[in-house]
Amino acid sequence: MRSLAMFSQKCPLCGCEEIRRSHRRNAWETLLLWMGIKPMRCRECYNRFYMF
């Protein structure tokens, strides 16, 4: 499940603050990175989401 977490340093699914940067999967995510949108992953529930 992917979501967009704006300005929050928490996982939007479980609310955990233990998050880390996730690897880019494709060219679209590279473009998002250039726009300042980073893929992140929760260390607790492994949810993958995007953050500004």
Element (H, E) at 20: strand 19-21
Query: What pLDDT does 9 receive?
Result: 87
How many whole angstroms separate alpha carbon 52 and alpha carbon 4? 8
Query: Domain map of the chain by residue range?
Result: 4-51
Task: Find how far residue 33's CA is from the centre of its chain.
Answer: 11
Q: How many residues does the chain have?
A: 52
How many whole angstroms separate alpha carbon 47 and alpha carbon 19? 9
Using one digit for the tens of pLDDT, what is the confidence trace for 6-48? 456 899 999 999 999 998 889 999 999 999 999 999 999 999 9
Closest CA to 41 of 25, 23, 22, 18: 22
Q: What is the pTM of this model?
A: 0.76
Q: Is pLDDT of 5 > 80?
A: no
Q: Is pLDDT of 3 > 70?
A: no
